[in-house]
Amino acid sequence: MRRLIRALLIIGTVLVTALGLTTTAHAQTGLTAEFRPGPDWGTGYAADYVITNDSAATVSGWTLAFTLPDGHRVSALWNASYTVSGQRVTVTNTSWNGDIAPGGSLTIGFNVAYSGTNSPPVDCRINDGDCTGGQGPGDDTEPPSAPGTPTVTGTTARTVSLQWTAATDNVGVTGYQVHVNGQAATETSGTTATLTGLTPDTSYQVTVRAVDAAGNLSPFSAAATARTGPDSGEPGGEYRKVGYFTQWGIYGRNYLVKDMVITGAAADLTHINYAFGNVNQQGRCFMANQTGVGDAWADYQRRFTAAESVDGVGDVYNQPLAGNFNQLKELKELYPDLKIMMSLGGWTWSKYFSDAALPQNRQAFVASCIDLFIKGNLPCIGGEPQCGTGVAAGVFDGIDLDWEWPGSEGNTGNVIRPEDKQNFTALVQEFRTQLDALSRQTGDTYELSAFLPADPAKIDAGIEVAEVMADFDFVTVQGYDLYGAWGNTTNHQAQIYSPPDDPSPTGWSGDQAIGTYLAQGAPADKLVLGVPAYGRGWAGVPSTNNGLYQTATGPAPGTWENGIEDYDVLKNRPGTRYTDAEAMAVWLYVNGQFWSYDDEATILQKMDYVKANGLGGAMIWSLDGDDGTLTGAMATGLA
């Protein structure tokens, strides 16, 4: 049976959550290793080990070892190297964090996938020293007092926020177990939490009990009754259904704005993200007609014929707005509830995002983007008559930030700074501030969203999750490009779960990515799961295991780029298709080629995952690779 998150706690102000005991281990080496478990999402959990040097001398080189219970495995680990022998995990320093100064500490983050009942690691050792120094957990048999009765501090259709008075203990309380209707939901180290993934208009009985370092459990608190709110009844329910329309799709693929009407995508979606707007070296949004720099012709100058136009009326030469922008304006007249977002950056145009986010640039950068895309003040370029003050006003309802990636590598040549992480937070706040100020002037509401990475290391390097989520309406979490022909081993490029036989040391998956954001304080209902309308392909793949997890010789040939192919091409390609129900993935194997992609069935499965986990919706990249099948499945699954 497919594994789904049933309930998850998001910590309020203290973003340290627990699924088991929190213990501090004093080894004879002078190092301590503190296990800090994070949220449990039903199939896995996030956790940290914090290693601290309590001695008076620098420790050079360290090795941490612990044993996971049967049915548990590390699915990802960052800030260190690790090996596994059976259930024993051995973690060693990297070249840059081997030395720990007196009083210094470092954090190793990791995710654990499990089946059955979760349990924390045991038999922890640091530099061959015993990790259970001081008072052993077994020496303490006195349980904590019962916590106070939970108080409901807020509800939505699928969430309940709680707080309670702390318990007391002779040694110290390390966490709290929250039970819903008599069943353990998850645990937390704080006294505030939000239950997610609940059913609308439903009553729940909630109790809490405390846990100390020895594992002693307090009596349960008195029960509180919490009732979720009714479903909103708005179009599309509470779920966002987002699709990216690419500027360049109107050329080779001949996918026009009108095609979103023909395929039914426009009727199925709540949001369309227009890809992309560029950022220049001065840290400004701008327009240009230059290959690789900008395509103002496609954006707002090209005159479409009657047959190409959404409204069936051909453009004329001197109309003030033409191109894709005008077609999107016509689309909104057909679908007035549809939101159109201007997406900035992307893989190719994130080069100067770091410059734009600098303190001396960010205010002017945000103002330039709002002036160009929200206020619609378009420059005159190349003698074309399409330009002027406010000519594109009303086309875009907000800004989508697609900086790939703050604080870590993206495309070759991208500017990267150590302070990108903090600057990204400030940039998001600046966008929110200026959009809200404009809203007070116009009376319209402007949304702010982002596309964020799946890799836990990139999240840690560039995203202050709890801080930025306060200002975003929603964010899309990358659920694809997990694997591709840049690596020589075939794998599922958009898997929800990493199966036990996945040979990748990273174990990347959609569930891992979602869990990482939840562990760092993101509200579940602001997380939108990204799904692909294309496949990743490898060539020279042996037939063993039907091509899965095999060594390839390179990328498979693609229509537009080797190693990649649109869904509407792959769906008609001959060959044998296989399904990995555990991963929620499908692949095509034919003539030594392995293609990993999503079909209608996997999209429907993923929408079940979205709903079961209280997520905010789904996004598809990109609409020009879909004939309407996948977008339709997304809408059906989120109905």
Domains and CATH numbers, the chain: 9-134 (2.60.40.290), 151-227 (2.60.40.10), 240-532+598-637 (3.20.20.80)
Distance of CA 482 to the CA centre of its chain: 12
Cα Rg, the chain, nearest whole Å: 26
- pLDDT tens column, 597-627: 999 999 999 999 999 999 999 999 999 999 9
pLDDT of residue 131: 65
Q: Residue 480's pLDDT band (boundaries 50, 70, 90)?
A: very high
Asked if residue 72 has pLDDT above 90, the reply is no
13-27, 261-275, 381-395, 484-498: segment of lowest average pLDDT: 13-27
Which amino acid is located at 20 in the chain? G
Residue 547 backbone phi and psi in degrees, to 5: 90, -15
pLDDT of residue 29: 60
Which amino acid is located at 592 in the chain? G
Residue of 534, 566, 279 whose CA lies nearest to 402: 279
Asked if residue 19 has pLDDT above 50, the reply is no
Highest mean pLDDT among 96-110, 130-144, 429-443: 429-443
Asked if residue 417 has pLDDT above 50, the reply is yes
- Phi-psi sector, 327: left (phi>0), alpha (psi -120 to 50), beta: alpha
Q: Compare 544 and 186 and report the one with higher pLDDT.
A: 544
Contact 576, 546 (CB under 8 A): yes
pLDDT of residue 96: 80
User: Strands (DSSP E) along 258-412, which ranges?
Assistant: 271-279, 285-286, 289-290, 294-295, 339-345, 398-402
The DSSP secondary-structure symbol of 547 reads G
Q: For residues 150-158, give the mean pLDDT.
A: 80
Structure tokens at 633: 């499945």
Average pLDDT, the chain: 89
pLDDT of residue 25: 36
Asked if residue 392 has pLDDT above 60, the reply is yes
- Phi-psi sector, 583: left (phi>0), alpha (psi -120 to 50), beta: alpha
pLDDT of residue 501: 92
Distance between CA 136 and CA 143 in Å, rounded? 15
Q: Residue 132's pLDDT band (boundaries 50, 70, 90)?
A: low
Residue of 579, 562, 608, 88 whose CA lies nearest to 588: 579
163-172, 263-272, 363-372, 420-429: segment of lowest average pLDDT: 163-172
- pLDDT tens column, 77-99: 878 888 888 888 999 998 888 89
pLDDT of residue 600: 97
H/E element, 510: helix 510-519
pLDDT of residue 11: 31
Cβ-Cβ contacts under 8 Å for 488 (sequence gap 6 or more): 538, 551, 552, 553, 554
Going by DSSP bridges, is the β-strand pair 398-402/339-345 parallel, antiparallel, or unpaired? parallel
Q: For residues 571-582, give the mean pLDDT.
A: 95
pLDDT of residue 549: 98
Residue of 192, 14, 33 whose CA lies nearest to 100: 33
pLDDT of residue 602: 98
Share of the chain above pLDDT 70, in %: 91
Asked if residue 8 has pLDDT above 70, the reply is no
Distance between CA 450 and CA 467 in Å, rounded? 14
Going by DSSP bridges, is the β-strand pair 203-212/224-227 parallel, antiparallel, or unpaired? antiparallel
128-137, 471-480, 612-621: segment of lowest average pLDDT: 128-137
Highest mean pLDDT among 108-122, 123-137, 478-492: 478-492
Asked if residue 407 has pLDDT above 70, the reply is yes
Q: Residue 133's pLDDT band (boundaries 50, 70, 90)?
A: very low
- pLDDT tens column, 217-236: 899 999 999 888 776 433 33
Q: For residues 293-299, give the mean pLDDT.
A: 98
Q: Which residues are tagged catalytic?
A: 404
Asked if residue 164 has pLDDT above 50, the reply is yes
As a dihedral over the C-alpha atoms of residue 295, residue 296, residue 299, residue 302, rounded to 10 degrees, the angle is: -100
pLDDT of residue 75: 81
pLDDT of residue 20: 34
pLDDT of residue 231: 64
pLDDT of residue 137: 44
pLDDT of residue 292: 95
pLDDT of residue 622: 98
Instruction: With 0.75 as the threshold, say if the pTM is over it.
Output: no
